[in-house]
Structure 1
């Protein structure tokens, strides 16, 4: 693991790569009382030749900087942090599985460690990076999930068979995110256009996901359907389902890349989402599968692409 302390008086100390171990924090540390912390999540992959690769890591470093600045945590140079992350991953490279679908999860984190009770910008902070081997999100292939619309805790909807929460916003029930993933709808819109749509980033409620950005860029490069970032409400989605205009829905994020959605419970009713209209036995729609294949092939170096950064 990597650790690096910061104080307002002296700035960043010398980073230290050391074996994984416990952190020592005072009970009054600001992170424990006011949740002054932020973190990132990315993965390291081994390609067929055994080389270690990261997927668009500069975006994660910039996003962590944005989060830190928003929380009045110390600033840093994203390029320098990426170099530290790369060195940490190289040190832990023996922990990166070499089977397809496996990877090393990387969690850079910054926490406020000021010893005082009171809400204020911390004068002390700690940056640390930990890593953990992870397997395929779907061990036996795609497994679509049900999302329960609303704001009830996931623990309350799990007994009814729903694996995630579909978060809605505002009186018009705008679709926002699914659990911790960005949400995508592939449909024929009201103008009779094939469209891939996801909520926009304009108001700060939507996570600027790296996978989200990758899907949008791939879709625009394919130039086979309209790609939009805009508001979609549950009323619009329900009407489109009733008219047979919805082709697929899926979540997108680092852990699963894409996660197909097959049902949404909304207003006391299960709305059935098509997966593959041509194959009722399919567990993922053709577009979701296409995005998954394109991104994972880049991640594992099967396709040479600027998004895949070879570090060792």
Structure 2
């Protein structure tokens, strides 16, 4: 049990530091980032709790490097604990109060490698959204002029070339210029996605822990990165069991129990819906392949049996659940995945 707890509320230009010792708040002061870094160097090792936010991983890494026990805590929990109006001082105090709750769950931090992988993934997702939005906009605007074009990105770009070269379609010079710019933007967005895909694949090759996840059924480069980011941190906030990780990601049924009665519900909506949907999409691709042929491994036999009883969608969610648990065991125990073949 730490005698001193430091609650830190991070902002872009100022950092609020609340020091709690001997059941009393010793100080609650504002510092600049440079002053806080100097304080980390000169202060004795203490428990420092940061509210999880955009800069919390960086400062957690710096605090750990200086010998402190640094942890992250949920901003939602801090908000629920805060008693008075939202100010930096009250937030820093609420961080301390939240950390003192019994059996409080801290959030695991990300390493620099994980942060970089996550940045590549998010840039790729943004490029895909930009590409798809441009494509839909171009198709819709041309349809208003009774010009029907294909939905595929590559075919659409080729069709625009034909439209721009057609002198008999009565399109104005200004509209042709605007359409040409949109075509260039779409082409650039398509190239961006390809570059991000290449960055992802090369990054995986540089991360052995991430690379070995590719051996799991339904796990491609994107899901390998997803699982490595979500599970690949042996930190204080890491899940104790694989089922805890599955529940957090949202591939287990929701539970509502009261009065000794246990009620298991459906797979509900959760905050990290993108990760869950990508895992289930990967699992569904496996389901579609397994139903077309005989089972080769014990997992495929289990999956085919589940498909017959509950259908493709339920089987895909169950496989995604198993994927998360398998990945958790591989990353925490340093094991390799090898499918168990059926006896001949």
Higher relative contact order (CA 8 A, sep 6+): 1
Task: Give me the TM-score of the superposition, normalised by structure 1.
Answer: 0.27
Task: Give me the TM-score of the superposition, normalised by structure 2.
Answer: 0.25
Larger radius of gyration: 2
Between structures 1 and 2, the one with greater strand share: 1
